[in-house]
Chains A and B, each alone.
Chain A
Amino acid sequence: MTDNMPRSIQSGPDLSAARIARRNRSERWFRQLGILAIGSALLMLAVLMTSITSKGYSAFWQTQIAINVNFASSDVLPTEKVNFRGLARRSIRALFPDVKSRRDKRALYKLFSNGIGYELRDAIQRDPSLLGQSKRIWVKASADTDMLVKGFIERAVKQSDRRLSDKQLTWFDRLEKDGRIAKRFNLTFFTQADSREPEQAGILGALIGSILTLSVTLLLVFPVGVAAAIYLEEFAPKNRWSDVIEVNINNLAAVPSIVFGLLGLAVLLNWVGLPRSTPIAGGVVLALMTLPTIIISSRSALKAVPPSIREAAIGMGASPLQTVSHHVLPLAMPGMMTGAIIGMAQALGETAPLLMIGMVAFIVDVPGGFTDAATVLPVQIFLWADAPERAFVEKTSAAIMVLVAFLIAMNLFAILMRKKFERRW
């Protein structure tokens, strides 16, 4: 046996210390590289999140100013007829009797939000017992005042270079000394749609727009995607045509999203005639965009079901459809749902295709249905990032925080679903 054995085999494996040391060294080196990669990824994420949070958290607070309003002083009912703006201005002037000239008065009003008339109206509608009373009411400060309180306006800067004049600053200081300035939780941010005035702008319109758009997307894409995946994976013959389809689906998943926007513009708006800027049009475009992703993830979920389960069912005399619906689909469902939620998360963050179908419009109403003009969270972020007012900077970051919170919630939900429904075999 040993006679014809090659020399290199006879000498046996090289177990020298130098060789082992070299192997261990490269092993260690590779592990450290991996840790470094993870570490730098986490660091970048941390920097991003810290930057957004530190810029955005202040948007959740809003400066308010207390004014004394005499609801008896005017004929307050019926509410639609009353000049609440005038009432508000009278109340403001009452605080500063020394302000006489029209120009100064206008400057004084600028410390307050120009929507405080509506606030007074809302206050009396909420609590009609205010009628005939004089009452201290907290109203929104203007965005400039808010910026001053939050420290974004430097008093040291030359008067002409800042948004508030010296006079306005003295008035503000007087209000502050009287205890009429307070930072309150910014409920408006969560209950209002977009506005030109930063202090009146909120995220709710975009949020509802996103929810409506995504429900259209989910309703379209999940049944179609799952059915397509089941057909391709379980029923379609494997031939040249199915290969062509498979390649095309994979390619479609890589098509830039703006192309789907152009398609939506050309086909959905111009040809089908869907209304512009609406969740229905946006939802269809996003459905087209996420369809390949859903098909691919559903197919891999189906592939992960062991063939022995299919054999067992077919061996029992189940038809192909029974095999799929009784056994394969229930087992693949958690994976499919995870894929669908991740696809939805992708759609939630998508901006470009929606710009093409007009969802970038400035919309101040909370959309009430699928055919109302609407915008979505990422587009709202885009719009605010584009706005010149300093106060929109924090709003942009706050909107990003809301969007990220939604993404995290969706992914968490996907993980929980998988944990709950995953079955072992």
Chain B
Amino acid sequence: MKNEMNELCSVEGAEYFEVEDRAPLAEVKLFARDVGVKYGENEALKNVSIDFMEHQVISLIGPSGCGKSTFLRCLNRMNDTIEGCRVTGEIRLDGKDIYSKATDPVEIRARIGMVFQKPNPFPKSIYENICYGPRIHGMANSKADYDDIVEWSLTSAGLWDEVKDRLNEPGTGLSGGQQQRLCIARAIAVHPEVILMDEPCSALDPIATAKIEELIDELRERFTITIVTHSMQQAARISQSTAFFHLGELVEEGKTDDIFTKPGDERTEAYITGRIG
């Protein structure tokens, strides 16, 4: 089985070797090769290679502690903030190596937005929450510009009608689902190219979850989305591709339909049928 995996990887690797990483396929937005993460001596992730296609939703699934969140946080260099964390391998955004010395992590995070597991609006007004990103990235000059950004972002996040009359109230006063949509609105306000979502619905009830899922499907038209989820139904519902992680390794990655109907690896099958996890 180990051999099978190696074969799979080498086949995929060979494929991309031909393509040549300096000029990846036009629709490959994010490109990860042999990504490994070590926390001190502890190896959390090894040899992960995935391509993220433009305007697609890709789900990262796997049991707790399998490294999927760690991998997600590598993609916008969030792991930089963790003491003792070392990332190896290569990740490119539109062909640009995001871990090269010349790359500014701030620029990467402006182009790759993130939504966290627990809704974490700033303890400021709804309006200020949305404006924060555009303000620090110098995207607007006038109050009117900010007003436009706020309305567009909240409308895109499906929150405008619910909050338009109370934009000056604190964002922390909203319900959990609304807070999470506010966080999504905040992320898209800087018009990123990729949005990373780390279990965005795990703290929400089914109704709020449904709204977020609907929203993710709409957002796919404008953004490339990567979502970590524990819910396989959710992965099946919203994503076009799925990657299954187990014990720090990428077991397999492919079209969501294929992964759920004819998994190529028995560990994947075991997980999606509920035998491991």
Listed in ascending order, the chain A residues whose CB lies under 8 Å from chain B are 237-238, 306, 308-319, 322, 326-327, 331, 423-425
Number of interface residues of B (CB under 8 A): 25
The interface centre, meaning the residue of B81, B120, B187 with most chain A CB atoms within 10 A of its CB, is B120
A312 with B121: CB separation less than 8 A:
yes
CB-CB < 8 A to A237: which residues of B? 83
Chain A residues near B172 (CB, 8 Å)? 424-425
Indicate if B235 sits at the interface (CB-CB under 8 A).
no
**Count of chain A to chain B residue pairs whose CB atoms are closer than 8 Å in the complex:** 63
Question: Which of A313, A317, A318, A322 counts the most chain B CB atoms within 10 A?
Answer: A317
Known contacts A237-B83, A327-B122; A316/B78 CB under 8 A: no
Which of B131-139, B205-213, B217-225, B246-254 is found at the contact surface with chain A? B131-139
Q: Which residues of A contact B137 (CB under 8 A)?
A: 317
What are the 10 A-B residue pairs with the smallest beta carbon separation, nearest first?
A317-B110, A315-B114, A308-B120, A317-B109, A312-B120, A425-B123, A316-B133, A423-B123, A238-B83, A317-B106
**Residue B160 at the A interface, CB < 8 A?**
no
Q: Is the CB of A317 within 8 A of B133?
A: yes
Q: Is the CB of A308 within 8 A of B116?
A: yes
The reply to whether the CB of B190 lies closer than 8 angstroms to some CB of chain A is yes
B228 within 8 A of A: no
> What is the bound-complex CA distance between A326 and B106, given in angstroms?
15
CB distance from B99 to the nearest CB of A (A): 16
Q: B116 contacts which chain A residues (CB < 8 A)?
A: 308, 311-312, 315
**Across the interface, which residues of A come within 8 angstroms of B122, CB to CB?**
309, 312-313, 327
B38 at interface, CB cutoff 8 A: no
Our pick among A312, A331, A423 for the contact of B183 (Cβ within 8 Å) is A312
**Closest residue of A by beta carbon distance from B121:** A312
Q: Determine the chain B residues whose CB is within 8 A of the CB of A316 once the complex forms.
A: 109-110, 113, 132-133, 136, 186-187, 190
Closest to A310 in B: B81
Encoded as 1 (CB less than 8 Å from any A CB) or 0, chain B from 79 to 120 comes to 001010000000000000000000000110110011010101
Contact A314 B186 (CB under 8 A): no
Q: Can you list 9 A-B pairs with a CB-CB distance of less than 8 A?
A: A238-B83, A309-B120, A310-B81, A311-B116, A312-B121, A316-B133, A316-B190, A317-B110, A317-B136
- Residues of B whose CB lies within 8 Å of any CB of A are 76, 78, 81, 83, 106-107, 109-110, 113-114, 116, 118, 120-123, 132-133, 136-137, 172, 183, 186-187, 190
CB distance from A324 to the nearest CB of B (A): 12
- Contacts A237-B83, A315-B187, A317-B190 given; 10 further ones with Cβ under 8 A? A308-B116, A308-B118, A314-B81, A316-B113, A316-B132, A316-B136, A316-B186, A317-B106, A318-B132, A326-B132
- B residues within 8 A CB of A318? 106, 132, 136
Give Cα A310–Cα B78 distance, bound, in whole angstroms: 11
Q: A237-B83, A308-B118, A326-B132 are in contact. Are A315 and B123 (CB under 8 A)?
A: no
- A27 to B271: give the CA distance in the assembly, Å: 49
Cα distance A98–B238 when bound, in Å?
A: 113
CB neighbours (8 Å) of B106 from chain A are 317-319
* Smallest CB separation, B169 vs chain A (Å): 13
A314 contacts B78, CB within 8 Å?
Answer: yes
A151 CB, nearest partner CB in chain B, Å: 60
A306: which B residues are within 8 A, CB to CB? 120
Contact B132 A315 (CB under 8 A): no
- The minimal Cβ–Cβ distance linking A379 to chain B, given in whole angstroms, is 44
> How distant is B50 from chain A, measured CB to nearest CB, in Å?
20
- A317, B107: Cβ atoms closer than 8 Å: yes
| A221 CA to B52 CA, complexed, in Å | 52
Q: How far does the alpha carbon of A326 sit from the alpha carbon of B129 in the complex, in Å?
A: 12
Residues of B within 8 A of A425 (CB): 123, 172
Kindly list chain A residues whose C-beta atoms are within 8 Å of the C-beta of B133.
Answer: 316-317
In the complex, what's the smallest C-beta–C-beta distance from A313 to chain B, in angstroms? Answer: 8
Report how far A310 CA is from B107 CA in the complex, Å: 17
For B123, the chain A residues whose CB sits under 8 A away are: 309, 331, 423-425
Q: How far is the CA of A310 from the CA of B114 in the complex (A)?
A: 13
